[in-house]
Amino acid sequence: MQNPQVIVKNLNFGQDAKGKVFAGIDKLTQAVSSTLGASGKCVILEDFMGRPMITKDGVTVASSVNLQDPVENIGATLIKEASRKTVSEAGDGTTTATVLAHALLQHAKDSKGKDSLRNVKKDIQKCCDDTVKYLEKITVPVEGDMIDQVASISSNNDKELGSIIGQAFKQVGKNGVVLMDNDSKSEETTVNVVTGSQINQGYANPNFVTNVAKQDVTLDNPFVLLVSSPITTVRKIQIVLEYAIEKNRPLLIIGPVSYTHLTLPTNREV
């Protein structure tokens, strides 16, 4: 009797496996590539509730594709990873990354082993380096009214919406973050600028709350400690804590903190 907890694998080999993998690659690329560029076409998708959704965002289209054949779905997943990594690193260009990944894989398939994998990798890296140098050479800084123009193109040539988006980017600057909020009580599209920095993580323990009514932490002129390694013991930051106590200023720690394992000094007030 087969153990129900064991995952059964469907094994495929040779040309049959390769054909199915590339069939999945072709299907996903065909769905995503239609959205390429400012004049790209929209794609109608079905959401998890069965309702139609219209979009021209490449990564959204890629994420919604799940093929019935498991081997074909592996090929589609390869392209999905290319688009997801692109949107994570650059925030845009997912459709372009999908088309390029498909072209590279198609070239590898058509070569049929004529070129060694090492030479293919070397050629790809050389083309990448040459492309980056060329792009750096022809780069034009986006400033002033050009921000509105780029925003309008990204908004399907909607100048009104592009002007609003451009206004947001002008106000926050090149290092600012612009987010879209669908939860609005009016039909108007507005810009709300919030000063400061936002971190996608709150306080580690409710005992840090300074305003019980609002359940938030407010620190007046604090020291800020940025750490990359976990703080598992107070000894690691003892010098910093003592300095903050000496200056009578609060300390904001940004990093991985194992609060349950910290034992604060009993003769100090933090």
**Are 158 and 72 members of one domain?**
no
Within 13 Å, how many C-alpha atoms sit on residue 237's CB side? 28
In a domain, 37, yes or no: yes
- State how far the Cα of 196 lies from the Cα of 201, in Å rounded to an integer: 15
Inter-residue contact 230 to 256 (CB < 8 Å): yes
Give the range of the structural domain holding residue 23, as residue numbers without chain letter: 14-112
**SS3 at position 251:** strand
**Cα dihedral 50→54→59→61 (10° resolution):** 50
**Are 99 and 146 members of one domain?**
no
Domain containing residue 41: CATH number: 1.10.560.10
pLDDT tens by residue, the chain, 270 residues: 556 666 667 777 777 888 888 888 888 888 888 888 767 788 888 877 778 888 877 778 888 888 888 888 888 888 888 888 887 777 778 888 888 888 888 877 776 666 677 787 888 889 889 999 999 999 988 888 888 888 888 777 788 888 888 888 888 887 777 777 777 777 778 788 777 666 666 777 777 788 777 778 888 888 988 888 888 787 888 888 899 999 999 888 888 766 554 544 444 433
In a domain, 190, yes or no: no
Q: How many other β-carbons are positioned within 10 Å of the β-carbon of residue 195?
A: 6
First to last CA, the chain: 61
- State how far the Cα of 113 lies from the Cα of 247, in Å rounded to an integer: 68
pTM tops 0.75, yes or no = no
- State how far the Cα of 193 lies from the Cα of 177, in Å rounded to an integer: 10
In a domain, 136, yes or no: no
**Are 52 and 105 members of one domain?**
yes
Single-letter amino acid code for the residue at 36: L
Structurally, the chain folds into a number of domains equal to: 3
In a domain, 31, yes or no: yes
Structure tokens at 237: 């930051």
The full length of the chain comes to: 270
Name residues whose C-beta falls within 8 Å of residue 81's C-beta, 6 or more positions apart in sequence.
Answer: none
**Are 210 and 156 members of one domain?**
no
